[in-house]
Amino acid sequence: MSVTTTTSTPWRTRASVGAAYAAQGFGYATVVTALPGLKARTGIDDATISIVLLLGALLAAAGSVTAERVAVRRSSRAALVTGLLLQAAGLALVTTATSVPPLVGAFVVFAIGLGMVDASTNMQGVLLQRLAGRSIMSTLFACLTAAAILAALAQAVLANLGVTTGAVVALLVAAGVAAAVALTIRGTLIPRATADAAAAASAVATPSEAGRGRSRSPLPRAGIWLFGSMVAVAFVADSAVSSWSTVYLADHLDAAATVAPLGYAAYQGTVLVSRLVGDALVRRFGRAKVVGVTVLVAVAGLGLVALVPSPVAAIVGFALTGVGVGALVPQAFSVAGELAPDRLDEVIARINLFNYVGAMLGAVALGLLSEGPGLGPAFLIPALLLLPAVAVSPRFGGAPATGPAGEAGAAAESVAPPTTPISASTEAPPKRGRSGR
């Protein structure tokens, strides 16, 4: 059976996976920035929003688990398309909600789709990197970050229509983007047959009672906890800056209203730059050095925020934090994808669960500590949690492994016509049960 890999249709497949990351970033940022308009439309208060967001995080975790099951039984492509369509439906339903119950119901649909896309984009991204034979994860995450920034700018422009109207229009645009991307990329994402071929080439072939010619490797639980923890601490820092940087500058440092948002803007800007240059740095210096240096920069940035109470120091500190967070997350997923190539979907889905733990911890912990030692010193918490990532950085290794998977891609191309696109017809029949991958 011939299998077409990304090397035979690089621009279509890579563009499709990048578009999926972008749609995810655009949709989530639209929801977050539309909250003021939703408050005005439904009459909910901040406490209710907090509960809805907490529920959303828990449901997104459930969506990540769902993506794992869909990917094992069918493919990560199916999980990704389904998740995007659920997001589109959820976003559209949010625009119809004028009271709390329908709003919560809409968020349930959106959050499950969010979790499914979170997990499945990284499944596709890590597999694409393996088949491409070089580091590309940072670039894929840059697509997400750039789209999130674009969504925030779009919300600002649409606010001229009125807070409520602008939010509704923005949500409808995001719903359209998610649906359009899902329908456009579904035939050019990496199919099941290619994923299985890469996994077979990367694994040690052994007789299997299941009749598939090989047995699955054990699930690498220690590695999942190690690199999942790296994702968690990165999202602790991300959530801390996202949730509290503007509040800290405005309420605790008395920054002007035009200055207070600059901390978060500086952070997002350096996250984007870090991801745009990350792959080139990994190819030149290796993952271990890139992670070690950039995370150390982030620790220094958070220390600056915590110990020097001035608006300028805080903005610079938040910018430095973005350097490390922007590099750590894609590289953690990158190395995690090499732990058990034949169980990639399961590993990535479980690693993805750690981001919700980190996000909730970062938002809640700093809020609680702000009532005690103060919000400024509270930024030492994410700094201290990031320090182990510096110590663990040698475990990230050098450039992403290509070895057998890259050879599988080359072999596949040698037996497939160079112009053959990845299509649904190359997928293997769905497998059922735990031996499905």
pLDDT digits (tens, 9 = 90+) for 85-128: 999 999 999 999 888 889 889 999 999 999 999 999 999 999 99
The predicted structure's pLDDT at residue 60 = 93
What's the whole-number mean pLDDT along residues 264-290? Answer: 94
The model scores a pTM over 0.85? no
| Residue 192 confidence (pLDDT) | 81
What pLDDT score was predicted for residue 163? 81
Secondary structure (3-state) at 432: coil
Tell me if 50 sits within 8 A of 104, measured CB to CB.
no
Query: 423: pLDDT confidence band, cut at 50, 70 and 90?
Result: very low
**Which range in 18-32, 198-212, 363-377 is most confidently predicted, on average pLDDT?**
18-32
Tokens of 274: 């870090």
- On the CB side of 88, CA atoms within 13 Å amount to 18
Write down the pLDDT at residue 359. 87
Q: Which two tokens stand for residue 285?
A: 């210096």
Q: Is the pLDDT of residue 170 over 50?
A: yes
What band does 436 get if pLDDT is binned at 50, 70 and 90?
very low
Report in angstroms the alpha-carbon separations of 148 from 2, 18, 152. Answer: 38, 13, 6
Residue 63 CB neighbour total at 10 angstroms: 30
With beta carbons less than 8 A apart as the criterion, state whether 171 and 31 touch.
yes
- All structural domains of the chain: 10-203+219-403 (1.20.1250.20)
Rounded-to-integer distance, Cα 378 and Cα 307, Å: 10
CB 78 within 8 Å of CB 71: yes
Most distant CA pair in the chain, distance = 68
Q: Are 375 and 244 within 8 A, CB to CB?
A: yes
Q: Look-up: residue for tokens 């590099």?
A: 327
261: pLDDT strictly greater than 70:
yes
Quote the CA–CA distance of 407 and 428 in Å, as a whole number: 20
Cα–Cα distance for residue pair 277/311, rounded to 1 Å? 28
Gap between the Cα atoms of 346 and 73, Å rounded: 11
Is residue 310 over pLDDT 80? yes
pLDDT in tens, 362-404: 878 787 776 667 888 999 999 999 999 999 999 998 767 654 4
- The region of weakest confidence among 41-55, 280-294, 306-320 is 41-55
Residue 435 predicted with pLDDT over 70: no
C-alpha to C-alpha distance for 5 and 435, rounded to whole angstroms: 24
Distance CA 245, CA 314 (A): 8
